[in-house]
Amino acid sequence: MSVRSYGVLSTYSPTQCGLATFTGALVEALTQPGEIGLVPVDSSSTVGSVGVVAVVDSPDPTPPPEVAHQWERSDRGGATSAAAALNRFDIAIIQHEYGIYSGRDGVDVLETVRALLIPAIVVLHTVLVAPTQQQRMILEQLTRACAAVVTMTSTARQRLIDHYAVDPDKIRVIPHGATDHRSGQPGDQHQPISRTPVILTWGLLGEGKGIEWGIDAMAHLADLSPAVQYRVVGQTHPRVLARHGEAYRTGLLDRARRRGVADAVHFDARYLSNVELYRLIRQADVVLLPYDSREQVTSGVLIEAVAAGKPVISTAFPHAQELLSSGAGLLVERESPTEIASALRRVFTEPGLAARMGAEAKRLAPDLLWTSVSRKYHELATETLRADTKLATA
């Protein structure tokens, strides 16, 4: 039995968060020519469609046409209404991250999954080594209720097996997915790379991104010629902005001035379109991920950087350790400006190193692109639906 329609549960545009960005890209990839089509969704027909059940703080009066339903977090009946909306499709894809759904640690997602009459695939964006009792209960019950479980790295899969009561046979590893930002794409001739060496960090800004260590590292590179520039691009995360305003960004600007590198560190607070991001990545010589986290098993920025064929310097969080192990990047210790500076200096001065790193990144890229990733989701969904049909008729 083929899959005619998908219902995807997640945050979604215009919400600005990593989960919403991921879901938007997945929906677009699932609906490319040759795949099932993206059509407005209504209650009478879902054939050949992808519909999104969007988790929101308050309803959007004019949501995108692919949004089939909006689950307002404060709505007491929101979980069951979300399930009713998903039941109009052949199969559900549940994006999971703690805190996205209502209830403590997002526990209300369990109510939704239990009310489903269709098979579900759950995509795990976070797998903690030491969860709270509540977090463990949510993840174990969620994976038990779903027909298939997707992790985006082998590290996350092994964590599930080692630390949770999860059926290993249910788990499928499918990469995060990346837009094709590789060189040699149409329009490259109009986007020459700057002669000034450029280090790039991008993504929603907030504490834990480790930008301060990148700024401190720049003070150790002042002797390089030509002078190196560090670009930090991205809006402050909406939840950080609501709680703390621009305090983090302001502190980073002050730090750059105190370190004497204000002229070499440039902040761009825009939320970039794909076209703008493509141009930015193309102009970068190296991508820096100075993250503080020891837990991160999935990084969309890391995937995008490697898929673009760019050398990467990253702290040794789990996803970076796994993806960069074959030579596409250099790993550094957390909170270590000297290690970051040393790695950057190597990339800019060691003959052939940047080229070798870029070549390895380009070798890895095809399996990371959304065209490949969406195909894997189609295959898993078809397999899951076929198994569910056989079970129902047995």
Give the pLDDT score at 272: 78
Q: Is residue 244 part of a domain?
A: yes
Give the pLDDT score at 110: 98
Which is nearest to 344 in space by CA: 314, 384, 304, 300? Answer: 314
**Residue range 106-118, pLDDT digits in tens:** 999 999 999 999 9
**Residue range 147-198, pLDDT digits in tens:** 999 999 999 999 999 999 999 999 999 999 998 877 654 434 334 444 789 9
3-state secondary structure 257-282: HHCCCCCCEEEECCCCCHHHHHHHHH
370 contacts 28 by C-beta, under 8 angstroms: yes
Read off the amino acid at residue 293.
Answer: S
High-pLDDT (> 70) share of the chain, %: 91
Helices H / strands E in the chain, number of each: 14, 13
User: Does position 46 have pLDDT exceeding 80, yes or no?
Assistant: no
111 and 26, same domain (yes or no): yes
278 and 377, same domain (yes or no): no
Give the pLDDT score at 238: 83
Q: Residue 208: enclosing H or E segment and its boundaries?
A: none
In 3-state terms, the chain is what percent helix, strand and coil (to 5)?
A: 40, 15, 40
Q: Is residue 182 part of a domain?
A: no
Two tokens, residue 229? 């520039």
pLDDT band for 253, please (50, 70, 90 cuts): very high
Domain count, the chain: 2
Give the pLDDT score at 51: 96
User: Does position 312 have pLDDT exceeding 50, yes or no?
Assistant: yes
What is the overall mean pLDDT for the chain?
Answer: 90
Cα separation, 171 vs 174, in Å, equals 10
Cα separation, 119 vs 147, in Å, equals 6
269 and 378, same domain (yes or no): no
Look up residue 292 and give its DSSP letter.
-
High-pLDDT (> 90) share of the chain, %: 77
- For the purposes of burial, counting CB atoms within 10 Å of the CB of 173, is it exposed (0-12), middle (13-18) or buried (19 or more)? middle
The residues, ordered by sequence, that sit 6+ positions from 297 with a Cβ below 8 Å of its Cβ are: 126, 127, 151, 152, 153, 155, 156, 159, 318, 319
**Residue range 285-308, pLDDT digits in tens:** 999 999 999 888 989 999 999 999
User: Does position 132 have pLDDT exceeding 70, yes or no?
Assistant: yes
Q: Is residue 387 part of a domain?
A: yes
68 and 140, same domain (yes or no): yes
Give the pLDDT score at 393: 63
Give the pLDDT score at 242: 86
388 and 289, same domain (yes or no): no
CATH number for the domain harbouring residue 284: 3.40.50.2000
155 and 225, same domain (yes or no): no
232 and 129, same domain (yes or no): no
Which is nearest to 267 in space by CA: 301, 227, 233? Answer: 233
Give the pLDDT score at 189: 37
Largest CA distance in the chain: 72
pLDDT band for 390, please (50, 70, 90 cuts): low
Count of positions (residues) in the chain: 394
User: Does position 270 have pLDDT exceeding 90, yes or no?
Assistant: no
Mean predicted confidence (pLDDT) in 313-335? 96
69 and 199, same domain (yes or no): no
Read off the amino acid at residue 22.
Answer: F
Mean predicted confidence (pLDDT) in 12-34? 88
pTM value? Answer: 0.87
Give the pLDDT score at 277: 83
Q: Is residue 183 part of a domain?
A: no
154-163, 309-318, 353-362, 381-390: lowest mean pLDDT where?
381-390
Q: Is residue 347 part of a domain?
A: yes
The SS3 assignment for 212 reads helix
Sheet architecture: strand order including 229-233: 265-268, 229-233, 198-202, 286-289, 312-315, 329-332
83 and 126, same domain (yes or no): yes
Give the pLDDT score at 34: 54
99 and 204, same domain (yes or no): no
User: Does position 241 have pLDDT exceeding 70, yes or no?
Assistant: yes
Give the pLDDT score at 392: 65
Domain extent for 287:
188-368
192 and 133, same domain (yes or no): no
For the chain, state the CA radius of gyration.
22
119 and 200, same domain (yes or no): no
